[in-house]
Amino acid sequence: MEKINVILKKRTYPIVIGSNLFEVDGIFFPLKSGEQAMLVTNKTLANLWKDKVLYQLRRSGIKVDQVILSDGEQYKTINEMEVIISSLLEKQHSRDTTLIALGGGVIGDITGFSASIYQRGVRFIQIPTTFLSQVDASVGGKTGVNHILGKNMIGTFWQPSSVVINLDFLQTLSTSELISGLSETIKYAIVFDKVFFTWIEENLHSLLLLKEKEITYCIKRCCEIKSHIISLDERESNIRSLLNLGHTYGHAIESHSGYGNWLHGEAVSVGIVMAARTSEILGFLKKDDMKRIVNLLNRVGLPTKGPKSMPPSSYLPYIMRDKKVISGTVRLILPISIGKAKVQEGVDKNIILSAIKDCQ
């Protein structure tokens, strides 16, 4: 079992990584016997894991209720959040309750958002079940729901009380979900760690086969990087924004295509390539680094071309609504080498359009 702490003074919390974690006493930290909790999951996971988690919670003396939501990015809405809030009120959950998110990024985000606003804020625990949520979405306290005009436009920063990363969940993932998660892993390496990028290139086969040693190291390294960045910049006022590499373009694809038609990691993969191409046009990124990035994404099986049905001009309205836009000025996260990225302001729209066109 591996353990990492996200250092945020009084709100410091642990990330625990390992197999068979539900057999470990006290794993649902900070919940104690006799306390109240609400488990939030979706219909797919309810059939696979809900009963096992409920059994372990109740065995620990936790008084737990449950909410089962619809499965899919298209259900990451205020309406689904209302289901959680209504259930908490109906079951008479007070301000000392704890919400438990059992799911991927959608469940984690919507549960965290609900926890942040229920009675002005209650605790919540992340139990991420997808590779993408284990390496990225469950850590850092970004919560929210989608709006028809933009992804994650309604939300809060609300840190979990703990993150429990049980590797057993990965055995039930589809290949596409595993591959989708690897895009976020590659993102970390491009932005912060050239050595890690080389490690992924050399160990990709083992990762795709879910070899425990390599998978554990990969998840741990991503969590270490993100934990460090969050401790420096919790609310994304500077360095944390670099974690959005590929997301400005990727969110445009998800929003335009209809939530759920592209997996988040697939859209981010294309977004990484578009950001890299933008950087290359501007003269920052060398051609050899561009090739390495595209080659690794292709080896994983991730898309590197945007949807043909989405013309370059249709990206711009979404880019202009991106959360990194300040006073109408576009701010893009661009890789300038493998292991280093920067925020670039005022990129000419024609250059952005040219980069998108080159990646269609």
State the amino acid at position 30 in one-letter form: P
Burial class (CB in 10 A: 0-12, 13-18, 19+), 324: middle
Query: Is 120 part of the annotated catalytic residue set?
Result: yes
DSSP, residue by residue, 134-191 = IIIITSS-EEEEEETTEEEEEEEE---SEEEEEGGGGGG--HHHHHHHHHHHHHHHHH
Give buried/exposed letters for 334-349 (b at 16+ CB in 10 A, else e): bbbebbbbeebeebee
- Which residue in 146, 152, 244, 331 is the catalytic one? 244
State the amino acid at position 191 in one-letter form: V
How far apart CA 235 and CA 276 sit, in angstroms, is 25
C-alpha distances in Å from residue 169, one per residue of 53, 61, 127, 128, 132: 12, 24, 10, 8, 12
Query: Is 236 part of the annotated catalytic residue set?
Result: yes
- Which residue in 73, 80, 177, 184 is the catalytic one? 184
Give buried/exposed letters for 177-215 (b at 16+ CB in 10 A, else e): bbbbbbbbbbbbbbbbbeebbebbeebbeebbeeeeebb
- Which residue in 187, 247, 256, 277 is the catalytic one? 247
Query: Is 82 part of the annotated catalytic residue set?
Result: no
Q: Is 342 helix (H, G, I), strand (E, B) or coil?
A: strand
Query: Is 79 part of the annotated catalytic residue set?
Result: no
Q: Is 212 helix (H, G, I), strand (E, B) or coil?
A: helix
C-alpha distances in Å from residue 209, one per residue of 169, 205, 213, 214, 222: 14, 6, 11, 10, 19
The angle, 0 to 180 degrees and rounded to 10, between the axes of the packed helices 194-208 and 175-192 is 170
- Which residue in 194, 211, 220, 240 is the catalytic one? 240
Query: Is 142 part of the annotated catalytic residue set?
Result: yes
- Which residue in 120, 213, 287, 308 is the catalytic one? 120
- Which residue in 93, 187, 251, 277 is the catalytic one? 251
Strand partners, 51: none
Query: Is 205 part of the annotated catalytic residue set?
Result: no
β-strands 13-18, 162-166 pairing: parallel
- Which residue in 76, 226, 277, 331 is the catalytic one? 226
Could you tell me if 272 and 293 are in contact, meaning their C-beta atoms sit under 8 angstroms apart? yes
How far apart CA 69 and CA 42 sit, in angstroms, is 4
- Which residue in 142, 256, 277, 331 is the catalytic one? 142
- Which residue in 264, 277, 280, 331 is the catalytic one? 264
- Which residue in 73, 80, 177, 236 is the catalytic one? 236
- Catalytic residues, by residue number, are 120, 142, 184, 226, 236, 240, 244, 247, 251, 264
